[in-house]
Amino acid sequence: MNYYSAEESYSREQLKALQSERLVKTVERVYNNNKFYKKKMDDLGVKPSDIKSVDDIVRLPFTYKTDLRDNDYPYGMFSAPQKDVVRIHASSGTTGKMTVVGYTKNDIDVWATVMARSIAMAGGTPGDMIHNAYGYGLFTGGLGVHYGAEKLGATVIPVSGGNSQRQLKIMKDFGSTILTCTPSYALNLAETLKETPEISRKDIKLKAGIFGAEPWSENMRKEIEDAWGIDAVDIYGLSEIIGPGVANECLQKHGLHVYEDHFIPEIINPETGEPVKPGEKGELVFTTITKEAIPLLRYRTRDITRLIPEPCKCGRGLVRMERVSGRTDDMLIIRGVNVFPSEIEMVIMKFKGVEPHYQIIVDRPEHGMDRLEVQVEVNEKMFSDEIKVLEQTEKDIAHEIHSVLGVSVKVKLMEPKTIARSEGKAKRIIDKRNL
């Protein structure tokens, strides 16, 4: 089988040797060029000479998102001189400070390479037309896909997000074959297509879609694939690590291949920081081993997942990570029960007539207990059913959520198109609690 890069077919031994070599160089780089890491390592009594292979990674300090904002913001975490930094990206922050990341020319080339791999994994070729509906600008999504498509030799259409009618016209007229955007926006576009009589599904040449930047379930994948008649694959990335292109599904659609020649993944217990047993779920941690501008050691992503040790049928030697099931920092605690929005989505999408548009509303009355309400859109046919049918469905969904998650909820079925649509990340949670 042909892969975009030879490293994709490396054996575990070859990958370990390459990771070890690159990790040693990275540790030397950050220790000698970054006062934050030098202090962190000195405090632990660890010197660069102590790190001889990837097995020694557990001796290194963790890095947290707050570190990128608190250490001489905005450039204090950089390990390359300013003259070598050719690009700046940033993401919004809850503290008012953005998370700022930088790229050298080599970093940009690495990013383009892993994104080219990702597009190729989805079946992309130099002859494809990449309809890139991720946002451009400080957000890493749009430019990451853009450079990857060009690296692959495909033609990129930099349409960015918004203006769904125009998006569909471009798809039709330009012959788009691969769609890249958030999964919720892919469904938004499919919905708009149904309402656009001058453009039919047969006018659209899409064969695949690469979707990420927000959690989505297998049920949502089916909705997208059925709506568009395409293969829908998941992509994973973080601006802090490189952007999109840290990991991607192949067409087997059973876990995302992590580009281990550039990023070393770990799974740890989020409470203790200790590694979990192979195959167990925990918090995903990454160490970059080829980044120059802002290499990071053991970055705590807060994403909950597991690594899949079994080899993939596609033949790639790269380890796979399971679809992220939630985050340690957006997890809802409802009356002592840990609840992830993705878990609720998996339940509600089992029911016929339910649309993949929902919101979770959390409230806490004065001196009362937390209340959880799930508002779910239904299709036109179901909404036209008798009131008693809708009421029974609400009860059935609430019962199933309680059975699966152990938390009581109120379910409210909503008229079609009453939940606000998003052209970026869908806003799933409305937390009205004064916490």
Convert the chain into a string of H (helix), E (strand) and C (coil).
CCCCCHHHHCCHHHHHHHHHHHHHHHHHHHHHHCHHHHHHHHHHCCCHHHCCCHHHHHHCCCECHHHHHHCCCCCCCCCCCHHHCCEEEEECCCCCCCEEEEECHHHHHHHHHHHHHHHHHCCCCCCCEEEECCCCCCCHHHHHHHHHHHHHCCEEECCCCCCHHHHHHHHHHHCCCEEEECHHHHHHHHHHHHCCCCCCHHHCCCCEEEECCCCCCHHHHHHHHHHHCCEEEEEEEECCCCEEEEEEECCCCCCEEECCCCEEEEEECCCCCCECCCCCCEEEEEEECCCCCCCCCCEEEEEEECEECCCCCCCCCCCEECCCCEECCCCEEECCEEECHHHHHHHHCCCCCEEEEEEEEEECCCCCCCEEEEEEEECHHHHCCCHHHHHHHHHHHHHHHHHHHCCCCEEEEECCCCCCCCCCCCCCEEECCCC
Mode of pairing for the β-strands spanning 129-132 and 87-91: unpaired
Please state the φ and ψ torsions of residue 391, each to the nearest 5 degrees: -65, -40
- Split at pLDDT 50, 70, 90, the class of 366 is low
CATH of domain 1-328: 3.40.50.12780
Q: Which two tokens stand for residue 428?
A: 């799933």
pLDDT per position as a tens digit, 192-249: 999 999 999 999 999 999 999 887 889 889 999 999 999 999 999 999 999 999 999 9
CATH topology of domain 332-431: GMP Synthetase; Chain A, domain 3 (3.30.300)
Q: 268: which strand partners?
A: 275, 283
Q: What is the mean pLDDT of the chain?
A: 93
Q: Taking Cα atoms as reference points, which of 2, 45, 64, 5 lies closest to residue 290?
A: 5
Instruction: Give the integer Cα–Cα distance in Å for 92 and 208.
Output: 30
Angle of the 164-174 helix axis to the 183-194 helix axis, nearest 10: 80
Rounded to two decimals, the pTM is 0.85
The pLDDT of residue 421 is: 83
Query: Cβ distance 326 to 297 under 8 Å?
Result: no
Domain boundaries, the chain: 1-328, 332-431
Residue 318 has pLDDT above 60, yes or no: yes
- The reported pLDDT for the residue numbered 96 is 58
Angle at 190 between CA 252 and CA 174, to 5 degrees: 85
pLDDT at residue 51, as a whole number: 98
CA atoms of 369 and 348, how far apart (whole Å): 24
For residue 2, is pLDDT > 90?
no
- Over residues 425-430, the mean pLDDT reads 84
Residue-wise pLDDT for 338-362, tens only, equals 787 888 998 999 999 999 899 999 9
pLDDT of residue 94: 45
